[in-house]
Amino acid sequence: GTLAREINNSMEDIQALSGGRIPLRLAVSNISFSAHVDGAQNCAFIDEIRAPVVVLVHGEENTMMRLRANLVDKYKGSNYELTVHAPRRGETIELRFRGEKTARVMGALATKVPADGAVVAGILVEKDFNYRLVGPADLLEFTGIAPVVVEQQQRVPYASSFELLRLHLEQMFGELPLTTETSSEGVTSILRVYDSVDVTHAPWRTYVEVEWESDLMSDMAADSVVAVVLNIESCPASVKLTQGRGCGHSHGGGSEEQAADEPPTLPARTDANREIADKLAVFLQQQFSQVDVADDSGSITVQLNGQSAEIDAETLEVRTDSPVLLSRIVPIVAQVSRALRPLSHRAVALPEPATPLAPEPEPSPDHKGDGEDMASSSDDDNDDDDAGQGTSTPQAKLAGDQ
């Protein structure tokens, strides 16, 4: 399309800038100084590298279209899948690549050769298009990156009593360890959730402090704590629950005889547990990303960060090798069981269950109360504590009035 190309094609005259025609009175010789390859050399290069995509970007339009057609015809019907693009000037094309990336395993992770198909977990570091996989302890030595611990603190508005705060938190997370600090202003109470989140309450403040070291599990636990605290003062049952807490000692006057006349709280029937398990999956899906329900047995499987837990639909028993995951699931199962279990399964004599059930534990002295709901809450808290925090075997069985 250039003037030199037109002259080389033996034109007799050319068009002047003024619009007229100028006759040519010169001899033309064509000498090639091109350093580019021709069509045959391009085809040989493509055959050698077996590129899946070829983009023609330099040359005359007609020539590039002919080369594109030749390439498509050459490899049509062969086992070599080739896509050829010849974009026009200003045209945009998108290319997608699925290249494999290789990472060097370094440090403690490299001391043992993994088996085929095994998963190696570590920190992947990219620098200058090179990838390294190291453990957290070797991060500074092999990459020069110093790991840091992010400590987070959040103040949540709260103006009610510490007893009400503790009641709601223990209903969600089970029995919590309590520590106190005394200062000139008064006594500060600190509750620890999942051994990672500290909830600090001071009577002279209009907020509670939630503090934790940031990681995946602690962040989720802190989010749950904040949600519980924000819901306390707007919950209509807060006043009732506070008034229902017993004083923890006997008042005499025939209370023992009255307690003896009350029908005992019996273990739940298997069919009731099955109905609870059907609804339990919905609650677990709000807390965990991967929850599966077996079609035949109805058992529930919860997976988180490579750890898994199984909940038996017949007994509501939680089985897992992860104590952290166990301490999170057991309180949820206990709360759902207490909320959904029919009252008739607590106070009316039931047929003999299909499998032996554990006897109901005695209520803790710290949770004695006059109402049936508070007695049930006490039993649940004790069971949760035994299963989620104090057990050496990561297994918990929810039996009785949970």
Query: Annotated active-site positions, please?
Result: 36
What one-character DSSP code corresponds to residue 366?
G
Helices and strands in the chain: count of H runs, count of E runs: 12, 17
Tokens describing residue 224 = 């749950």
Q: What is the DSSP secondary structure assignment for residue 264, as one 8-state letter?
A: P
Question: Which helix or strand (DSSP H or E) is residue 387 part of?
Answer: helix 372-388
Query: Sheet of 317-320: strands edge to edge?
Result: 290-293, 300-304, 307-311, 317-320, 395-397
Which 3 state secondary structure label does DSSP give 55? strand
Of 277, 278, 284, 280, give the one whose Cα is nearest residue 302: 284
Continuous H helices in 21-60: 39-49
Q: For residues 231-251, b (16+ Cβ closer than 10 Å) or e, as one string?
A: ebeeeeebeebeebbbeeeee
Q: For residue 362, give both structure tokens.
A: 């005695």
b/e map of 335-373 (b: 16 or more CB within 10 Å)?
bbbbeebeeebbeeeeeebeeebeebeebeeebbbeeee
- C-alpha 311/C-alpha 398 separation (Å) is 10
Residue 377, φ and ψ in degrees, nearest 5: -60, -40
Angle (CA) 214 159 373, round 5°: 85
